[in-house]
Amino acid sequence: MQTETLVRQLPRLLENLADEQTPDYYEDLFWQTARTSQRSSWTVRERWFPMLEIARRPVMARVPWQPIAVLVLIVAALATSLLLAGTRPKLPPLTGPARNGLIAYSRDADIYTYDPRTGTSRAIVTGGDVDLNPAWSADGTRMVFRRVVDGSDLLFVAKADGGGARQITPAGLANVESYQISPDGESVAIVASVKGRPSLFVAKADGSGIKQLETGTIVWGAEFRPTGSDILFVGAQGMDGAYSGVYLIDDDGTNPRTLVEPQVDAAIAGDATWSPDGTRIAFARWDPSVAQHDLRVHVMSSDGTGDKRVGHADGAWWESGPVAEAPGMGLKGGPLWSPDGTKLLIERRIGTGAGGYPAHPGNPVVVTVDGTKPDVMVTFRTDAYGDFAAWSPDGAAILATPMDDNGDATQQLLWNPLTGESTAAPWIASSQPAWQRVAP
């Protein structure tokens, strides 16, 4: 019975095991699907997601380490900047009043600083060389000083603590008379002699080079504009410098300008000086309109216009800046502007001496530029050789170095510009005044 069943089903089983064949209903199914529109792809849920990519992804989400690392670096850089900003000393403004810092001076051939807050002095540049007359940069971070080596004057720039001193002038420079660091701290204006003729130089503050500027004159004094890079100087004409004018020149030696024409009977005495904002210039000039050719203080705009006399008192023969006449150096110094630009420190001498020359001694006097307040006469009497002086950064005091009968510098003094009182400085120094500006 089972054999008969197998015999009947065998043909069908063999047919199923044979090669694939098109089913009989294929034609009907094909024409049915051809008449039916295709299903929209958006209705297929699997098309919304990249299924193969999802299948390859790990179970845990991958962390975006690169953006996180960049963010960490940015945060670290900001934190470092804030830390450095917090530890870096705040710098004072380059012009106008500032807080009083250290007083720098030379003594016993070394450089010292005195701290008015603590009343202590300390040596910051020492050694076997003769170091003299430090002068501060406008931001109070550096100083320039003179070193005498084998008869040559060398200039050095150092940090405020005396460290990192570097030479900025070559050997052989003679009779360095004045020097000043530029407002940007990149250069130093220098007046030094070449074959006995005072000339203008500009040296790089990093010691990388020095250049002599061709002025066509003998140069007395040189000051950078407080708000720029051009240099103000008095240029003496003639073989003996008998008459002089006021000039400007860019620090690269270009663009020379004449602000005050030189005249034989109206020479400039001493140096010209900038107002703190660099918009005005003060100088002393012999007045040819007066029978005795009296010396008068003038103030003008930085372009040479608006010249007017200031601080004149009846009977005064000599009115100039507080100048010093060191032997062989001529008159050094000019009218001194207060840090706020409202006052000038001048020197006034009343009457005449033997031979009609200005009487000695004279008096330092504080005058207002606009003449609205009474003059304040300092009780100290200057001698024939005058004095060097400088305002304190806050304008509350004047530091002065008088010259004696032999033209030698003596003990520094402090003058009160409100009362005229004069007292000896509490430190021992006879160098030119130098008071550091620091941030308020």
Domain map (residue ranges) of the chain: 101-261, 265-440
- What is the pLDDT, as a whole number, of residue 249? 98
pLDDT in tens, 393-410: 999 999 999 998 888 899
- What is the pLDDT, as a whole number, of residue 152? 84
Q: What 3-state DSSP class applies to 134?
A: strand
Q: Give which of 236, 246, 264, 224 is closest to 301, Cα–Cα.
A: 246
Q: Quick check: 146 and 134 in contact, CB under 8 A?
A: no
- What is the pLDDT, as a whole number, of residue 19? 54
- What is the pLDDT, as a whole number, of residue 410? 93
Q: What 3-state DSSP class applies to 227?
A: coil
Query: What secondary structure letter does DSSP report for 8?
Result: H
**Buried/exposed code over 121-135 (b: 16+ C-beta within 10 A; e: otherwise):** beebbeeeeebbbbb
166: left (phi over 0), alpha (psi -120 to 50) or beta: beta
- What is the pLDDT, as a whole number, of residue 324? 80
Distance set, CA 144 to CA 25, 101, 358 (Å): 109, 16, 35
State the Cα–Cα distance between residues 143 and 141, nearest whole angstrom.
Answer: 7
- What is the pLDDT, as a whole number, of residue 46? 55
- What is the pLDDT, as a whole number, of residue 358? 58
Q: Which residues pair with 143 in a beta bridge?
A: 136, 158
Q: Quick check: 390 and 436 in contact, CB under 8 A?
A: no
In the chain (440 residues long), the average pLDDT of successive 10-residue segments reads 53 55 55 56 54 51 64 65 61 94 96 97 94 96 94 92 96 87 95 90 96 94 95 84 89 97 89 97 91 88 96 91 68 92 95 59 93 95 86 98 89 97 96 96
- What is the pLDDT, as a whole number, of residue 273? 97
- What is the pLDDT, as a whole number, of residue 29? 47
State the Cα–Cα distance between residues 142 and 219, nearest whole angstrom.
Answer: 25
Q: Which residue has the tokens 């061709």?
A: 214
Q: Quick check: 124 and 172 in contact, CB under 8 A?
A: no
Specify the CATH number for 101-261; select among 1.10.1200.10, 2.120.10.30, 3.30.350.10, 3.40.50.10680.
2.120.10.30
Q: What 3-state DSSP class applies to 45?
A: helix
- What is the pLDDT, as a whole number, of residue 355? 53
- What is the pLDDT, as a whole number, of residue 10? 56
Task: Report the run of H or E that residue 70 belongs to, with start and end.
Answer: helix 65-87
